[in-house]
A = this chain, B = another copy of it.
Amino acid sequence: MKANEMLRTHPNGATHLDWAVVASTIEDAMSCAQTCTSCADACLAEKMVADLRRCIRLNLDCADICQTTARVLSRRTEPVWDVLRAQVGSCFRVCGECADECAAHADMHEHCRVCAEECRRCEEACSRLLKALEEAAISARAAAPSA
């Protein structure tokens, strides 16, 4: 994926935010979205599908939320930091829940084992990014206008 290269070639200049951290979160969120879509479908095909309802539902939510978060983060033009924070916060939350759920039956289903890892990686990326967004907001306020 070319998220870093695309953010680097954006015409907007430097900001208080490290865009490499954003790029890495975008890639984790895209990967998590794909894995969750696959995991929902693999769970649906399992004999014990009736026991996997909570997992399928969280997979579908996580895929939707990760995908939207990756899109919002892919934009560098005129960012509204509060919107970014709220959406990354929602992504952090759903990834944590989905990671826990998939981990609970990772022993039985290889697809849930892989999915739990991807969700955990994205949860951690969101956590790092939330901190970076916090610091960028502080630096921006200390400096003056522009973020």
Report A's interface with B, CB cutoff 8 A.
1-3, 5-7, 9-12, 26-27, 30-31, 33-35, 37-42, 44-47, 49-50, 53-54, 56-58, 60-61, 63-65, 67-68, 70-72, 74-80, 82-83, 86-87, 89-90, 93-94, 97, 109-111, 114-115, 118
Beyond A1-B34, A34-B74, A40-B60: 18 further Cβ-contacts under 8 Å? A9-B42, A11-B47, A12-B45, A26-B34, A30-B30, A30-B31, A37-B71, A37-B75, A41-B74, A45-B53, A56-B77, A60-B60, A60-B75, A63-B71, A68-B68, A80-B94, A86-B89, A86-B93
How many angstroms from the CA of A107 to the CA of B31 in the assembled complex? 31
Out of B3, B72, B76, B90, which one reaches A34, CB within 8 Å?
A: B3
Which residues on B sit within 8 Å (CB–CB) of A37? 70-71, 74-75
